[in-house]
Amino acid sequence: MNNSSERIAVIVGGASGIGWASAQALASEGCRVTIADRNADGARERVAELGPAHTAHAVDVTDEDSVARLFDAVGPLDIAVNCAGFSNVGLITDMPAEDFRAVIDVCLNGAFIVTKHAGRHLRRGGSLVQISSLNGRQPAVGMSAYCAAKAGLSMLTQVAALEMGPRGIRVNAVAPGFVHTPLTAAAASVPGVVEDYVGNTALGRAGTPEDIASAVVYLCSPGTSWMTGEVLDLNGGAHLLRYPDVMGHVMKLMEPSS
């Protein structure tokens, strides 16, 4: 990115996975980065790796006061990236309502709260990037909460783009397929899951956090100054094929051995 030496960036969920890769990528482009994460110690450790120009901040995206404090502390900014999220697995007829709400609270309500407060501080020409998911467009048995949240996030992204466009602020999302991160580690540990994902990806491999970070940098660059309201599929072509049977692999693992 050109002229990014004075750009201020906040990465929510920046202590690991896609968030950490995005923080590194933006810092390498000359941005001054605040890594915000529920894992405050992890955020501080990551900032120590980036160097003294960068800062760490504790944040809980389900707590609006916490998010407001984060953005008030940073002040005017140019880039906000929201990577906070988690998932669970369970059939709708078996899932406790509180488990469904927990995912919605982080992945959709939390995204709303981040969008609200980032939007109050982003300067003209600023960019807000949400990390969505292939599950925003592909349903998966046993993943009702995550699929619903990410589908909602796609529409939230587009509405925010409409509302913030007159201020010169762009709002986009990246929708990854399977990427090896701490978020996907539990699923990846189930035999057959990774193979099923890769087998249903046109390019025949899982993604890396760096793949997604490159797209984040692109969406925050002058090269996308006329792009807003976009949900960018970045999944190696997985959206062209079927979604893996994650629940089936989980149920098979739980079968009693003979």
For residue 64, the Cα-to-chain-centroid distance in whole angstroms is 18
pLDDT tens-digit map of 2-45: 344 589 999 999 999 999 999 999 999 999 999 999 999 999 99
Tokens of 252: 């098979």
Tokens of 2: 């050109």
For residue 73, the Cα-to-chain-centroid distance in whole angstroms is 22
What single-letter DSSP state applies at residue 225? T
pLDDT class of 255 with cuts at 50, 70, 90:
confident
Q: What is the pLDDT of residue 254?
A: 85
Contact yes or no for 19/13 (Cβ under 8 A): yes
Tokens of 70: 């984060």
Give dist(CA 19, CA 11) in Å, integer. 6
Q: Which of 146, 197, 218, 243 is catalytic?
A: 146
Q: Which amino acid is at 93?
A: T
Tokens of 179: 């990427």
Q: Which amino acid is at 118?
A: A
Task: Kindly report which listed range (1-10, 24-33, 69-78, 218-227) carries the lowest average pLDDT score.
Answer: 1-10
What are φ and ψ of residue 118, in 5° steps? -65, -40
pLDDT tens-digit map of 93-127: 999 999 999 999 999 999 999 999 999 999 999 99
Helix 64-74 vs helix 110-121: crossing angle, to nearest 10: 30
Give dist(CA 107, CA 89) in Å, integer. 15
Domains and CATH numbers, the chain: 8-252 (3.40.50.720)
**Residue 218 annotated among the catalytic residues of the structure:** no
- Enter the pTM of the model: 0.95
Give dist(CA 195, CA 205) in Å, integer. 9
